[in-house]
Amino acid sequence: MQDADLFDIESYDYDLPEELIAQNPVTPRDSSRMLVLDRRSGEMMHKRFSDLGELLAPSDLLVLNDTKVIPARLRGTKLPGGGNAELLLLKSLDPEWREWEALVKPGRRLRSGTGIRLSDGTVVTVGERIDRGNGVRTVSFPGRTPVLALLEEIGETPLPPYITRSTAPRSAYQTVFAARDGSAAAPTASLHFTEELLEKLRNTLGISIAWVTLHVGLGTFRPVQCEDIRRHSIHEEFCVLPLETKLLVEETKRRGGRVVAAGTTVARTLESMAADDGELRCGEMNTRLFIFPGYEYKVIDALVTNFHLPKSSLLMLVSAFAGYEPVMRAYAAAVSMKYRFFSFGDAMFIR
């Protein structure tokens, strides 16, 4: 394939039988299958996620995203006049969680100042347009509203649209180490971890673990629709890299170990915080980093990830890391071997 074709959205399409889209997670979580891809040789192996420790060394650093999915979908009626409305809270704009960017339906037609009455009687006010094409607006809750408590009371966990028949409890769409409220979707590669596996990695095998936060919003799951993927713009997502993690990454690099990103959200956080020479800064930022083939990774050396949607920015990120041809061959192998795809599906380990 010519390099120019790597910018063509059609290059990231693939055939996926509908029955391979996982509707429920496996139990236990780490019993999922895991395709291991060597990005240099293209060699593939087939493991279980519980075998992850066999692929890591004590010199490695495993970096996890501690974000927590909030019940970010709210339903209500428009004021005045009624009519159904829906909000998907994407990104908090203030520390009290009263101002948000949200995907509003029907967001394109609503005037600024329109009220939406939620099921508990709270009236949320729709503000300015952030993204005309996708119905993203600012929304505000009344002053002194305990927003997190309200979400826990009347909000819904926003499962992706391809999960239509799930019988899993809300907790299944949450990592076992979720700690920091703020995501509209789970960092799905980390759904495979169990407390027992983390204990084994940390205390039996001596694998160091570090933490970042990226609150997953529209930037992660918004589809790429431009024919030339270079024209795609990713929506901002908030991320944090603590000083302790920066120091652990630097120590890992000095001793010749690998920085293993557990998921594309971790990869984007680490790469967003890296200068051109790989020097990391710590702190927080809003990232719009869109990684696609041609991008030179500065921090991560291995990647745990799920199987992603056709034509998605996440498939492009993985292709930039492992190479387009090896990734597409791995996806074809996964389809032929009936791996389970997407959020509740199986995993890949790319080294």
- Count other C-beta atoms under 10 Å from residue 165's C-beta: 7
So what's the pLDDT on residue 141? 97
So what's the pLDDT on residue 135? 80
Sequence-ordered strand ranges (E) for 11-97: 33-37, 44-48, 61-65, 67-69, 73-79, 84-92
Domains of the chain: 3-69+168-350 (3.40.1780.10), 73-154 (2.40.10.240)
Q: Distance between CA 322 and CA 303 in Å, rounded?
A: 9
So what's the pLDDT on residue 4? 47
Q: Which of 324, 222, 331 is nearest to 4 (CA)?
A: 324
- Asked if omega into 80 is within 30° of 0 (cis), the reply is yes
Match 């930039």 to its residue by tokens. Answer: 320
Q: How many helices (H) and strands (E) does the chain have?
A: 7, 17
So what's the pLDDT on residue 133? 63
Q: Distance between CA 172 and CA 116 in Å, rounded?
A: 30
Low-confidence ranges of the chain (pLDDT < 50): 1-2, 4
So what's the pLDDT on residue 110? 84
pLDDT tens sequence across 97-118: 999 999 999 877 788 999 999 9
Q: Distance between CA 230 and CA 226 in Å, rounded?
A: 8
Q: Distance between CA 35 and CA 330 in Å, rounded?
A: 8
DSSP state of 5: G
So what's the pLDDT on residue 217? 86
Separation in Å, CA 12 to CA 8, 109, 218, 311: 8, 33, 20, 5
- Count other C-beta atoms under 10 Å from residue 195's C-beta: 10
pLDDT tens sequence across 194-240: 999 999 999 999 999 999 999 998 766 677 989 999 999 888 899 99
Burial of 191 (0-12, 13-18, 19+ CB in 10 A): buried
pLDDT tens sequence across 139-159: 999 999 999 999 999 999 989
